[in-house]
Amino acid sequence: MSNPQFRGAAGLALLLLCTANFLDAMDVSTIGVALPAIQAELGMQATSLQWAVSAYVLGYGGFLLLGGRVADIFGHRRVFLWSLAVFAAASIAGGFVDSGPTLIAARLV
C-alpha cells in the first residue's frame, strides 16, 4: 500500500499538471475569438494576425524540445516552475502590448 502523504502529493502534482495543460489549451483556442478585436485595436493586417496565432505554437513546440533536455539537466520540478513563471510573465506582457510585433513576440515566448 502507498503512503497517504505520498498519494496527496501525487494528487496535487497531477492537479498542477492538468492546470498547466488547461492553460496551454486555452491560450491556443481563445485567440481565435479575440482576433477581430486585436485587429481593430492594434491595426494589424490579416496576414499579421496569423503570425499572432502561429507564434505561440512555434514557440511552444521549440521550447518543448529544449525544455525536455534542460529538465533532464536541472531537474523537472525546477524547470516546470520556472517555465510557468515565464509563461505567466509573457501572458501578462501580451495583455499590455500596444503594437502587433510586440504581441507576436509575447506570444512566441
**Residue 70: per-residue pLDDT:** 94
**pLDDT, tens digit, 9 for 90 and up, residues 58-90:** 888 888 889 889 999 999 989 988 988 998 899
What 3-state DSSP class applies to 58?
A: helix
**How does residue 109 score in pLDDT terms, banded at 50, 70 and 90?**
confident
Asked whether the predicted pLDDT for residue 14 surpasses 90, the reply is: no
Residue 4 pLDDT > 70, yes or no?
no
Buried b (16+ CB within 10 A) or exposed e, 20-29: eeeeeeebee
Residues 23, 86: Cα–Cα separation, whole Å: 13
Q: Which residue segment(s) compose the domain that 25 sits in?
A: 4-108
- Distance between CA atoms of residues 106 and 93, nearest Å: 7
Mind listing the pLDDT tens digit for each residue in 16-57?
A: 888 888 888 887 888 888 889 999 999 898 888 889 888 888
Nearest to 77 by CA among 5, 12, 25: 12
Tally of domains within the chain: 1
Nearest to 48 by CA among 60, 64, 31: 31
Percent of the chain residues past pLDDT 90, beyond the cut: 28
